[in-house]
Structure 1
Amino acid sequence: MTETMRAIVLDGPGAPDALKIREVPRPVPEPGWVLIQVKAFGLNRSEFHFRTGMGSFGSFPRIPGIEATGVVLEAPGGEFAPGTQVAALMGGMGRTFDGGYAEYVVVPASSVIPFKSELDWATLGAVPEMLQTANGSLTVGVDAQPGSSLLIRGGTSSIGLALAVLAKRKGITVVSTTRNPAKTQTLFDAGADHVVIDAGSIAEEVRRIFSEGVGGAVELVGTNTLADTLKATAVHGTVCFTGMLSDQWTVKDFYPMDFIPNGVRLTAYSGEANDLPAEVLQEFLDAIADGQVSVPIAKVYAFDEIVQAHQDMEDGAVAGKLVVVV
């Protein structure tokens, strides 16, 4: 008899209530794949894109979810011992094969990162993709160095808040933006040294703080604010395009000579599981446990509250990471 599990299934693009909880067969791992009992999973903007049909990747019906944390049950290839605490992320999860919105998930061993922690599962569930993206944007994207300055455009997003935490740990001066003045204190609490209210154009105000411009910037809003972010950045500074909170992905009639200021560097970052070294994840979790770092969790939901969770994500109702505990 086939074992079953509860999973959140999307038959096709739709509103939050298109996410349906069903009993489905529990997946069975092949060699090279790992069966994980899911304890918690974070919500990500790309899952909103997938749910609404904005992304041109993946297929339906599908169990969404580009990340999950939990415990290894089986690894036929012997990559991980049963009982190992792990995070799984990216690699096609929730797009080309079923993802983390379930009681169990099977993923390629290459998408799995082991860790050891006594933190609660809600906290652990918030970290992997958020940390991977923030750490990669800071190190690979901007290559930010201690003593430099960093602009975080879209600071109240989970990645924006995690970026502030990581940047402060490296001794970087942080400028974070928000469209909502009521969220200013949230940014200061995360470690921002300066907060700029974003009405669409911030370059002038940033240059009042840093006359030469910031040494680096991470663009999390989208292409609609990218030109202005570039204008806020110093010569030989780097702007890393990482996020699209505005759901605007492309630059119409892109003319580089006009769009990019002289000497400012423009790059991008979108990472995979192997871009988050196990030691970086472990160090971050240990820092949380020691009270050195706080995780920007906005709200924790039960499995049955997935529709409300997606509605809150779509509405931008809260600042920080949304987590579902299974």
Structure 2
Amino acid sequence: MKAVTVYEAGGPDKLIYEEVPKPVLKKGWSLVKVMGFGVNHSEIFTREGQSPSVEFPRILGIECVGVVEETSDENLLPVGQKVISIMGEMGRAFDGSYAEYVLLPNEQIYPVDTHLSWEELATIPETYYTAFGSMKNLLIKESDKVLVRGATSGVGIAFLNLVKGQFNHIVVDGTSRSLSKKYDLIQAGFDDVIEDSSGQLQTQKNYDKILELIGPATVKNSFKHMNEQGILCSTGQLGGKWFLEEFDPIMDIQINSYMTSFHSANVDGNKLNQLLEFIEQNKIVIKPEKVFELKDIAKAHEFLESSHSFGKVVILRKELKQA
């Protein structure tokens, strides 16, 4: 099969498209034919050598959508079953989805029932699932004023689509380090765009709910723009900082407000199918920003790392991309 292997840490040029042996079925695992997957910032970090637990060579890829090709559990995962897989140690402790086929632990393969296209489905797993879980934890209601910090990211756009899909008149603002992306964000559906300059929001506005995708680097500043009784959900770490340092919960959390979080490892099949049902019931338009083939995954990484990056980048199986 064709796959993309990283043999040593470095730039996009370290993503080697090559022929490798197709994985062999083993007890407790099943083989999935990969129809598509999203490209994630965490895979860029791993490619760069910033994931200490990952040993090279490794086929990256922490998510995929596809169909069961070979199974060790015919009852739960029959051949031909449409499935989604997210996280676990996929693409980290064992080879992941940057391939035509991936061997996965059965407990990490989730059967799904959906009429969405492969392109739509490939856009969803990590990104929309993370956005959906964050939205639930924020307890959003239509009267809320909402801020997405890190709005140009895939999760930021997904969160906007889900919230606007449920609440027609809700106000959702987004942030960007560059106001050159303001037009794109307004076109995507944000009501206003706030400049995020050196970790400081250039506004006097306050919000009821804040989705914090930059992470520990900006959490303290985000709380300065929180209304009383508000909720901040710290979900992303796009700021490249992993821990809250010199953070005093008594002083740094806005008065009578709340902090929560969501992590995509908090996953199960029921929640995934709830997300797909929510998307179909609310007629939410799911569209990736860029679509590539597996052989062009280095270009996908380059785009995601560039100043032009916006929304979700997906890889589709060759025959789907060419259809």
- Whole-angstrom CA distance in 2 between matches of 1:218 and 1:52: 27
Which letter maps to 2:32? I
> Aligned to 2:295, which of 296, 299, 304?
304
TM-score (norm 2): 0.89
Residues 227-277 of structure 1 show CA distances to partners (whole Å, capped at 9, x for unaligned) of 111111112211111112221222333333443332232222112231762
Q: Give 1:244's match in structure 2, choosing from 237, 258, 272.
A: 237
Match of 1:158 among 115, 136, 154: 154
What is aligned with 1:227? Answer: 220
Q: Distance between the aligned counterparts of 1:160 and 1:234, measured in 2?
A: 21
Which of 91, 100, 106 is matched with 1:103 structurally? Answer: 100
Higher mean displacement: 263-272 or 277-286: 277-286
Runs of 5+ unmatched residues, structure 2: 318-323
Structure 1: gaps (5+ residues) = 208-212
| Counterpart residue number, 1:133 | 130
Partner residue, 1:168: 164
Please, what TM-score do these two structures have when normalized by structure 1?
A: 0.88
Deviation per residue, 1:68-117 (Å, 9 max, x gap):
11111122122122112211111111011111100001112222233344
Range moving further from structure 2, 31-40 or 158-167: 31-40
Aligned to 2:195: 197
Q: Which moved more, 1:58-67 or 1:109-118?
A: 109-118
Farther-moved stretch of structure 1 (156-165 vs 217-226): 217-226
Once the two structures are TM-superposed, the CA of residue 285 in structure 1 deviates from its matched residue by 5.2
Q: Which moved more, 1:157-166 or 1:196-205?
A: 196-205
Any idea what the Cα deviations from partners look like across 1:135-187, whole Å, max 9, x if unmatched? 111113x2323432221001111100011111112324211112222322332
Q: Distance in 2 between matches of 1:29 and 1:235?
A: 54
Secondary structure of the corresponding residue to residue 123 of structure 1: helix
Percent identity of equivalent pairs = 34
The aligned amino acid for 2:300 is A
Report the CA distance between 1:40 and its aligned residue: 1.0
Residue 318 to residue 118, structure 1, CA distance change in 2 (3 Å): same
1:24 aligns with 2:20: yes
1:313 aligns with 2:304: yes
Pick which of 301-310 and 151-160 moved more: 301-310
Cα separation, 2, equivalents of 1:276 and 1:129: 15
2:13 and 2:134 mapped to 1: Cα distance? 33
Deviation at 1:284, TM superposition (A): 4.7
The question of 1:61 aligning with 2:57 is answered yes
Tell me the equivalent position of 1:210: none
- Is the partner of 1:7 in helix, strand or coil? strand
Aligned with residue 111 of structure 2, among 100, 110, 114: 114
| Length, aligned pairs only | 313
Which stretch of the first structure deviates more once superposed, 216-225 or 38-47?
Answer: 216-225
